A and B are shown apart, each in its own frame.
Chain A
Amino acid sequence: MLSRVAESIYWIGRYLERVENTARLINVNSNLMLDLPKGITLGWEPMIRILGCDKDYTERHDEITERRVVNFLISDESNPGSILSTLAFARENARTVRDSLPREAWEEFNAFHQNVVDTKQTSYARQGRHDYLSLIIRGLQQHTGLLAGTMNHDTAYHFLNIGRKLERADMTSRIIDVKSENPIPDDAPELRPYEDMLWMSMLESLSAYQMYRQSMQVRINRIDVLTFLFRKAEFPRSFTYCTENISTNLSKLPNNAGPLEMLRNIEQVMQKTSMAKMDNDVLHKFVDKLQIHLGHLHGAIAETYFPSLAEEAA
């Protein structure tokens, strides 16, 4: 398959996954705002930082308010990282390779995109926001299913999966990172119940709560939640599930030595780190490290499969 097409499909996978997880992240934060006692707020500032768009935000806004941040993250088309911008990038990429995608999937995605654009104002107020974000998450899940069920599981599909899982690993780690912004001081035992609530919200945002209960069979606690979200190979949004899936897909591609080596580095970092000793500070640094490694993995994939076409031609 053409390198250019492989690259576009890889980015479609990444963009769509980014949209879905941004929606999940905003939902978890919105829920937390409702659950936490007055006086203890998580605020919206960490959200911008976690999504890596703090610079873009401060260029446009001089204060941080819920409404501004949420609009910035969801519907501001001048923010390249907003849900609508990212979705538009995905659509534009799909358009450049529309001949490689099943027609039904393209049509469904087009209709979905149109619907998301047309109803964006429902996300402005808290009241409609949850439904709007759920519409996005469900729509993307449907799209994933449609592609899985109608597309040849060949090279194109492997690239779609690699893009998607790499982004998901990255975003899952970012969502966990919300916890390292924990506003609840470690020395305040009376606030312990709220700590559990934070973990529960996080699990729910990743559709992981029920699966956690089923598989861990313990009450919510820090070590088990972290173990589940980082290491549970059976849960499809866990970090380890993603890296294993990337490995499976990479193994079906030619010339995969470079990317596989980068992947092994990530696996080693994951294995060597103890979940028991993760206070907020350590957790934050660990997530940073994982993201840097994922960056290297992306670099190796790009270098191997999408050598800069313009450069070569020059």
Chain B
Amino acid sequence: MSINWESFTNHPFYDELITPKGHARSYARKLIGYLKNLDREELDERQQAADLAIKQMGITFRVYTEEEGSIDRAWPFDIIPRMIPKKEWDQIERGLKQRVEALNLFIDDLYHDQKIIKDQVFPAVVLAASVNFREQCADVNPPLGIWAHICGSDLVRHSDGKIYVLEDNLRVPSGVSYMLENRQVTKRVFPELFETYSPLPVNTYPGALFDTLAALSPRPGDDPEIVVMTPGIYNSAYFEHAYLAQQMGCELVEGRDLIVQDDDCVYMRNVEGLSRVDVIYRRIDDLFMDPEAFDRDSVLGVPGLMRAWKAGNVALANAPGAGVADDKVVYSYVPDIIRYYLDQEPLVPNVPTWRCMDPDSLTYILEHLQELVVKPANESGGYGMLVGPASTRAERETFAKLIKADPRNYIAQPTLGISTVPTMVRGGQLEPRHVDLRPFILSGKSIKVTTGGLTRVALRKGSLVVNSSQGGGSKDTWIVDS
């Protein structure tokens, strides 16, 4: 027996598989029973088999380090799956659909009449200071009125046992390929577990993504030409871009493969000559997409792409400007946004959030920096944050200055006691490690949510940072009938 579950104390955190008394949660009983029959060496062998499989499958992500520059690293994966009972998941799924539906209505409103501002539910000053609002998108009508076709929302479970939405990624969320590959690796490593469990399959995603994109084609009826647009092999998510293109049977293009001609249509350069492109799943930031409309120095983009999009000759997913709702200050308004557009109460709550721009909150935040997590409005990847309990006095002083200089750009949240899952550490031992969950939500003619999502795990003991660029790994996520 590799682990003494009774001493698997994890107070005050919630463990996804083990109860505070050290018993397996009902839906995890068979998994824990199975793990008990493996000794440390056997567990270690399984982990090594998984690492080898990942190397051979070429599942990688790219990181930049001071010492080594840009390198391609094997995807860190932990073999112990994270489980969520189906009943709970169904409720989360409904909450995510509700959330994304409201967010799309919100974005569309911001680029048209701005009713939500006129009705004083959402302040004009927040929009005025938004770095992701694109004036160029005003009055554009993207197909189906949808702006964020692919959304990745990060969920965490607090020590109260409840699931909260931590943030929404509406620009170019990544990670879905790892969700799919994690299941493949688990099947290789623990085939016998699938005899007792039937986790809901995850592999319908590429098909659903294709359908979502195809529905956007400006030339309905025809066989639409859909492409995935990547910044190139040096992008940290290049693996995913190639993976999704392959799974959907689409071309993977770079900016230099595309050209916008005088008819405002987009073409790709083929061996046979030029051919028209209908839908671009772009995995490149707004600002680099079109040097004609945005950053003039971008060599990654396609001059004229915005022109073609505004003319309705090509669909872009996500639509340019969708990132306006990706802002952490906007995030704090999402419950109000849901109430305003859908006249419903949010099904999955936000993490309580203080806005530094509200004078009362600001005073509170500055007095309680040591307990709070302070985040900039528009950073991703866990950069530029202050984690109060882990900070030094000097760091807090620096942050206090930053916040006071630009209150609109910061929010603060309580330090969450995010949940854990037993995770392999050196020598076949299992210890609790903190996790989050990123489901992906597709919006087209209907809204679809991935079965579960990508569970990211902070592999360092005590760490809450799950980002792969900062020592995070991932786990397979099982939605199981309890």
B residues near A, CB below 8 A?
55-58, 72, 232-233, 238, 242-243, 245-246, 251-254, 256-257, 259, 268-273
Contacts and interface: CB of A to CB of B under 8 A. Distances in A.
A305 B271 CA distance: 5
Given A155-B271, A254-B272, A106 B254 contact: no
Interface string A291-314: 000000000000001000110110
A35 B232 CA distance: 50
Contacts of A255: 272
A98 interface: yes
A207 interface: no
A34 to B, nearest CB: 36
Given A1-B270, A103-B246, 5 more contacts: A1-B251, A2-B271, A99-B252, A110-B57, A313-B256
10 contacts: A1-B251, A2-B268, A3-B271, A95-B58, A95-B233, A95-B238, A99-B243, A107-B57, A107-B58, A110-B56
Given A107-B58, A110-B55, A309-B269, A2 B257 contact: yes
Contacts of A6: 271
Nearest to B243: A99
B272 A2 contact: no
Interface of A: 1-6, 92, 95-100, 103, 106-107, 110-111, 114, 155, 159, 253-255, 305, 309-310, 312-313
Contacts, number: 71
Main secondary structure of the interface of A (DSSP, over half): helix
A1 B58 contact: no
Main secondary structure of the interface of B (DSSP, over half): mixed
A115 B232 CA distance: 27
Nearest to B56: A111
A98 B246 contact: yes
B297 to A, nearest CB: 14
A61 B50 CA distance: 43
Contacts of A107: 56-58
Contacts of B270: 1-3
B55 A99 contact: no
A48 to B, nearest CB: 30
Contacts of B272: 1, 254-255
A3 B257 contact: yes
Contacts of A95: 58, 72, 233, 238, 242
A103 to B, nearest CB: 7
A107 B246 CA distance: 14
B266 to A, nearest CB: 14
A99 B242 contact: yes
A92 B272 CA distance: 25
A97 B253 CA distance: 10
Contacts of A313: 256, 259
Nearest to A309: B256
Nearest to A305: B271
Given A2-B251, A2-B269, A92 B58 contact: no
A158 to B, nearest CB: 9
Contacts of A110: 55-58
Most buried by B among A1, A98, A99, A107: A99
